[in-house]
Structures are given as C-alpha cells and as structure tokens.
Amino acid sequence: MSFQNLLLEQPEPGVYLLTLNRPQALNALNAATLDELTRAIAQVAGDAGARVLLVTGAGEKAFVAGADITEMQALSAEQAQAFSASGMRVMHALEALPVPVIALVNGYALGGGCELAMACDWIIASDRAVFGQPEVNLGIPPGFGGTQRLSRLVGRARALELVTTARQVKADEALAIGLVTRVVAAAELREAGLVVARSIAAKGPVAVRLAKQAVQHGQDLDLANACVYETSLFALAFATADQKEGMRAFVEKRVPRFCGE
C-alpha cells in the first residue's frame, strides 16, 4: 500500500514504524492525511504478525503541528463536523489496534498532533518536544478528542487550564504531569522506541494483546467488574499455545518460542 503523506515501514520483524511525512507543512493533518492514516492503521491491524506500532513525524521540528488550518478555515459547520468525525475515527482506530502503539514525539505536538499522540498507548518524547492544545487561539475548541483524552491523562483541572489558556508544555513538564512516560535526547528517540518495541515483540503476542484489552476496557468499569473481566481474559490465555510454550520454557529454563496462537 502506497501513501503520499505517510511512510509505513517494518524496521524489524513485527515492528511497524508509521511516519507522518509532510515536513514542509510540519506534518499537519489534512483530510488526505487522515484518510491515509485510516488505511495505514487498517493495514497494521490486518497483519497477524504485527507486534508493535511506533508513530512519529518526519523532520526535526514537528511530530504533528496540528490540523491543517489552511484547509479548515473555510469549512461550514456541517463540513467541520465531518472533519472532526474523520479525525475521531483515526484516533479511535489507533486505540482499537490490538497491539501496543507508542508515540515517538520528536518536536511540536500541537492541536491534532497532541491528540494523535494521546490516542497512542503511551508517549516517549524527545527533549525538544512541545505539547499543547492551542485551538482556542483560533476561536474553536479541540475537535479530535483533546478535551477528553487530556483530562484522562493529567486530570480535569490541569487539562482545562491547558485547553483554555492554550499554554504549551515542554517535555520536562509533560513528564512531570503524566502526559508522557519518558523523555530522551532527540538523537536517541528512534532507538529508544525500537528498544521498547523489541522488548514487547519478544513477549507472548496473545498475552500482550489480552493485557492491552484488559487495561483499555477495564478502566471504564467499576473495580469489581473490571476484575471479573480480567479473570475471563486470564482464563482465555490458558487455551492458547503461547501459554503452554511460555510455561514449559520457564520450567525448562530456556527462551520461549511464541507463535502468537
């Protein structure tokens, strides 16, 4: 599958690297890019051998600097609703991927870029990264899930402060408030992502997918029902070849050879 605005590669077996590739526009999200993202995510979802997806931006300045304002400025209310819905579909599709998705934020992640990063399972940031939801500067609120995901990550009060002031947050503060999980030197960002991806890819693929499923769905349940849900997934794992191989390898003191079944 070929793309005009993206690069989708497999630098290592099971590891996908998706790069937003519009550096001349600071990787801004226009309608065509959102459509390509939908197709790229579907391609990863359809690969039974996929283990991890890394998401980053081309160039040194930006992960994604936001939605494409030149394309948005003339939208009617009806067209704006369709554009927001298209962005929302991309974010939901990222979250729905059965494998872990890690954002490697290499620069500005503003507006739609911050929303894209937050739709990933977690964020590793370059020390040059800057996050923000500056939409109120344009007379609009966030439209790709920013108000909802940001509040879930950093809390209601801090999210509302950031959204209503449009204040930008550098990497060190993003780490302190829980928006990102790790900050690394810019030159080390790609390798840091690959190190984590290799670690995940070496684990039992079914177990990793079930663990992601448990965390995602369980957080919307009360604790008692979430634990019941976890029990059902735990039991389901015992019907897999990976469970048999993983425990046999442990007893035999060797590295397991998981097949993803």
Catalytic machinery residues:
115, 135
Between vectors from CA 242 to CA 240 and to CA 244, what angle results, nearest 5°?
A: 80
3-state helix, strand, coil in the chain (%, to 5): 50, 15, 30
The residue among 103, 85, 90 whose CA lies nearest residue 143 is 85
| Beta strands 169-170; 108-110: pairing state | unpaired
Cα–Cα distance for residue pair 100/104, rounded to 1 Å: 13
- On the CB side of 87, CA atoms within 13 Å amount to 27
The angle, 0 to 180 degrees and rounded to 10, between the axes of the packed helices 112-119 and 146-154 is 60
Cα–Cα distance for residue pair 226/232, rounded to 1 Å: 10
The beta-strand segments (E) located in 58-113 are 62-64, 101-105, 108-110
- In the numeric block, which tokens belong to residue 137? 């500067």
Element (H, E) at 125: strand 122-126
Q: Are 14 and 49 in contact (CB under 8 A)?
A: yes
Cα–Cα distance for residue pair 242/233, rounded to 1 Å: 14
